[in-house]
Chain A
Amino acid sequence: MTGEIAKRRFREVVLPHIDDAYGLAKWMSGAGADAEDIVQEAALRALAALETAVPLRPRAWWLSVVRNAALTWMKRNRPNALAFVGDSTDLDSFEIADRSPDPESALIARDEGARVREAIAALPSPLRETLILREFEELDYREIAAATEAPIGTVMSRLSRARAMLQRLLGTRE
């Protein structure tokens, strides 16, 4: 039985940020239906945790719960998509095929949105989640470090690598 206090905290911490949670879950899982399951699972975890926890930064805390729920969910349901989660120390050895558009295909009008989404999806998971927490969820370095359980220096280098990769994939780095 959930206590009144937990419910009230849930209303204050979780309910105002459902869209953000859904967006994060969708980026991490790649599909809307999966994202719904993930957010629901995260909400149950949050409700249980809020019995005792009083998050100092409620939105960042809630998003970190969603992020963890997404990882668990992916591990259980889409294990192949998570090749790079967990031990990410040798990310530097990771290379992606150069997919910058050749001059001719650049002439073909393409859906920029699809191109950007594909590029983000092509990033290794740790880089992708760091980028998404910064660019779309607008957490600061400290919050990202807490959410992803990584040192701030790692957050910075992941962001930098994610951005460099995207610039190459999108051809914005001349």
Chain B
Amino acid sequence: MSDDVLSPAQRAQLALDGEFDAANQLAFERDLARSPELAAEYARLLRLRTALREHTPREAAPERLRARLEQMVEIMPRRRRTPWAMAAGVAAAVVLAAGAGIALRTTSSADPALAALVAGYQRAALSGQPIDVASSDRHTVKPWLASRAPLGAEAPDLADAGYPLVGGRIDIVDRRPVPTLVYRRREHLISVSELPLSEAGDGFATLDGYHIVRWRDRERGYVAISDIDATELTAFTAVFRRVSAG
């Protein structure tokens, strides 16, 4: 849009609506200082905008409308639902837990440690109590875990990356305590467990609909488990590894 074909009123409107590119906006501001006509037009438009926005406060939608829209997409497969919502139906939870137990037994021969950790994730999610120590402060979570499990659990702060720390818990693998950190991504939980290097694994796996990413550093093995997308979980582990390495 070239300047010379536009009237002052049109230029004032484009500037008001933020439709100029940087160069044209600069030119406009330069002319604003020199042309009383342009300045008056721009001031009038600004006054109108102020009047419109001041006197028409944004109105929230009625709660029942929101509820109806949420209902349209509420009936989701179990693993997509939030742990908090699951805690609601006790009877349903018992049935589901029993089902999960059967499924686990059939897969547990593959990797008992993995199955145990997924069971921990499921149980924690079903109980609505995903953590033993609730804190977003890594300096609280780390010593709590370290005092109960043989490994010195690192608890990297990933809040800036969009994964606030929720807390920690102790999972049991082969009758030994394993420290597990719990992070949140939107309404989903991501658990990260630490294993001794001798039990570490690598790569991606899916068990009972949960995604699992395993990796290791020089001292420990890690297992991340969540019901978020595989892609999202991989993104999380990349952040986790970068921050804990740094």
Contact = CB atoms under 8 A, between A and B. Distances in A.
Given A22-B65, A140-B18, A163 B45 contact: yes
B142 to A, nearest CB: 34
Interface residues of B, number: 35
DSSP majority for the A interface?
Answer: helix
Contacts of A4: 76-77, 80
A156 B13 contact: yes
A172 B48 CA distance: 7
B87 interface: no
Given A43-B72, A167-B44, A22 B61 contact: yes
Contacts of B17: 134, 140-141, 159
B232 to A, nearest CB: 11
A10 B52 contact: no
Interface in B157-198: none
A160 B9 contact: yes
Contacts of A44: 72
A47 B9 CA distance: 41
Contacts of B219: none
Given A21-B61, A160-B9, A15 B69 contact: yes
Interface in B1-46: 9-10, 13-14, 17-19, 44-45
A66 to B, nearest CB: 11
Interface string A94-128: 00000000000000000011011100100000000
Q: Which of B17, B65, B70, B80 has the most CB of A within 10 A?
A: B65
B111 interface: no
Contacts of A136: 52-53, 56, 58
B72 A170 contact: no
B235 interface: no
Interface stretch (A32-40, A51-59, A70-78, A80-88): A32-40
Interface residues of A, number: 40
A44 B68 CA distance: 11
A135 B73 contact: no
A18 B47 contact: no
Contacts of B45: 163
A28 to B, nearest CB: 14
Contact of A22 (B9, B59, B77, B80): B59
Interface in B80-96: 80
A47 B72 contact: yes
B218 interface: no
Interface in A14-32: 14-15, 18-19, 21-23, 26, 32
18 contacts: A2-B73, A4-B76, A4-B77, A10-B73, A15-B69, A21-B61, A23-B58, A26-B59, A40-B68, A134-B17, A135-B52, A140-B19, A141-B19, A163-B13, A166-B48, A170-B51, A172-B47, A173-B44
Interface of B: 9-10, 13-14, 17-19, 44-45, 47-49, 51-62, 64-66, 68-70, 72-73, 76-77, 80
Interface of A: 2, 4, 7, 10-11, 14-15, 18-19, 21-23, 26, 32, 36, 39-40, 43-44, 47, 112-113, 115-117, 120, 134-136, 140-141, 156, 159-160, 163, 166-167, 170, 172-173
Given A156-B13, A166-B48, A172-B44, 8 more contacts: A7-B76, A10-B72, A18-B65, A36-B61, A36-B64, A43-B69, A141-B17, A163-B48
